[in-house]
Amino acid sequence: MRILVQRSLESSVSVNNKIIGKIENGLVLFVGFTLGDSEKEIDYLINKVLNLRIFDDENGVMNKSILDVNGEILSVSQFTLYADTKKGNRPSYVKALDSIKAKKLYKIFNERLSNYVKVETGEFGADMLVNIGNDGPITIALEKECTDDKK
């Protein structure tokens, strides 16, 4: 499982020219799943996202988490996080989890995350327009490799 985290002042996601998710101060998460991913990877990365200290404290030092600043999250499914470009110029997505399993894990991820912070989402599998007010800019990649031998 991979998550690309971007600190945001204001962000939104639209489908067919209609805003379906919008946040103020918080994080934009691009979330991707690969073969073998499970709820174990979800729990680990939720903990990382919630406790990632990338918000400024009163001294301007990145020392606060999204929980500390009462921030919001915009979560967007992103299978292209598993693009493989080692051969040729056309990305291969064979490492991305199939859409049925990925959609289930994405739903679980967002439900669990919403127990701690406000979560807005994009639409799984839709053609989305994401507007990000990347603050900093700060962008961090998080990953939890599957430990399942059945990969």
Catalytic residues: 80
In what helix (H) or strand (E) does residue 112 lie, and over which residues does it extend? helix 99-113
- Give the number of residues written for the chain: 151
In what helix (H) or strand (E) does residue 104 lie, and over which residues does it extend? helix 99-113
Q: How far is the C-alpha of 19 from the C-alpha of 150, rounded, in Å?
A: 39
Select from 145, 142, 143 the least CA-distant residue to 6.
Answer: 142
Beta carbons of 79 and 126 less than 8 angstroms apart: no
Query: What dihedral angle (degrees, nearest 10) is formed by the CA atoms of 90, 96, 102, 103?
Result: 0
Q: What 3-state DSSP class applies to 92? A: strand
Q: What 3-state DSSP class applies to 21? A: strand
In the DSSP assignment, the letter for residue 79 is G
